[in-house]
Structure 1
């Protein structure tokens, strides 16, 4: 029996401490969801949980650590009940040339962006199958459709996310609806972590010119998961209106 007696559906969001994750938490809370907020930065998570009130639980978890995700899933079940929605949002965008100097960052992107999402899904899947049906939302990118010089490893993780999501759609429906969200430039902290100076400058200039807000994307996610169970928005590509590719 969960500690929280509320009857609202439960959404788990990875990478919830900032950006699209935090914005999605606010959007889903406004739609009556109870939130399990997962990320590594506990101070930000706890602030967000306080902001959202008693129906939000902050849980420190790194999606690259399966043991931590398993522990998080158990805490979700105890505190809130079985998850109805999982939003795989945790991700990093470490752009730069594909060479040996970037090998650790390339591996990090694969481990977080793709393997992290797969781990979280595998761990929470039984919960999503409980009840009247679950929703799996995978945050991909326009880079999952259009690769370019300087984003080889990042694009690989997002193309992988798209293919994996489509296979899961066929495998899990109708018990679990699968939606993949492919945003273009969004004003978040993604560009802050780029270490290659040339790639960082180019990305920051590009994003400053036309990026949409995290709230824009969160609104789309909330819309998708609140559709009647008879339909699914399987793939949603959204770009800033001025973004050419």
Structure 2
């Protein structure tokens, strides 16, 4: 018996990185997984690897019509949605002064409007399933500020707040929580070197599989939690490291 037997899950940004790790783990635990993404070739390869009943769905998360199509087709082929993982996200580098309005809006459309549309569109399906769980992938950039990625920080703080509002709006049928990874080894961090993690209490990159296990915990085990943050960041948000020679 898997921990997600008879569950139907949509995972956005599911073709690679954290999303793919979540899709693999969910499938291994018995869920019927819909991998939703704009990376069609990678998504099709992943669902072929996972086998039936996994399916790939092309989805631009900023499109309301796209969401409606995916939810409708999921219900038709697999049944009502019981888990939604809003993982799709992008980053555009640039400070408040440097970034163009178009670039700022693009990040907000994908990273913040995308999860809102996902929750709005899937909520009726989640209720038809008898209740369910939404996990919004935010970031530690949704808990503190970072220079040079103003739009990303704004979007991830927005996801954190949206999660809390949705948890109240959708209770008691639907739990909504946010997961906040630190620096994880994905395509988004491919150009980062070890200096990005050297000052962390756990001085290494996180792995997508570690985030996936946290998402599974939120869905399957954290049954008395809603509207809250689950952080996995190597300890970076705890505080600055001890100075050399400081008393232990």
TM-score (structure 1 length as normaliser): 0.87
Aligned to 2:129: 131
Query: Does the 8 A contact of 2:183 with 2:189 survive in 1?
Result: no
Match of 1:44 in 2: 42
Listed one character per residue, the Cα deviations across residues 115-142 of structure 1 (whole Å, up to 9, x for unaligned) are 0111111111111112331101000000
Deviations 1:21-69 (A, max 9, x none): 0000011111111101100011111111111110101011111121111
* Inter-partner Cα distance in structure 1 for 2:222 and 2:183: 29
* Equivalent in 223, 226, 232 of residue 225 of structure 2: 232
| SS, match of residue 12 in structure 1 | strand
The yes-or-no answer on 1:218 pairing with 2:212 is yes
Distance 1:214 1:178 in 2: 21
**For 1:61-96, what per-residue CA distance to the aligned partner results, in whole angstroms no more than 9, with x for missing partners?**
111121111111111011111100000000012232
Question: Does the residue aligned with 1:129 lie in a helix, a strand or coil?
Answer: helix
Report how far residue 240 of structure 1 moved: 2.1
Q: Could you tell me which residue of structure 1 aligns to residue 245 of structure 2?
A: none
SS of the equivalent of 1:212 reads coil
**Aligned residue pair count:** 229
CA contact (8 A) 1:140 1:180 kept: yes
Bigger drift between 144-153 and 154-163 goes to 144-153
CA distance in 2, matches of 1:60, 1:12: 12
1:49 and 1:207 map into 2 onto residues whose CA distance is 33
Equivalents in 1 of 2:208, 2:151: separation in Å?
A: 23
Equivalent of residue 105 in structure 2, options 93, 104, 107: 107
- Mapping 1:1-245, distance limit 5 Å: 8-191=6-189, 203-204=192-193, 206-207=195-196, 210-227=204-221, 229=223, 231-232=224-225, 234-241=228-235
Contact 1:186-1:207 at 8 Å conserved across structures: no
Q: Tell me the alpha carbon deviations over residues 202-226 of structure 1, each in whole angstroms, 9 at most, x when there is no partner.
A: x455457621111110011011111
| Higher helix residue share | 1
- Of 55-64 and 219-228, more deviation after overlay is shown by 219-228
Runs of 5+ unmatched residues, structure 2: 199-203, 241-248
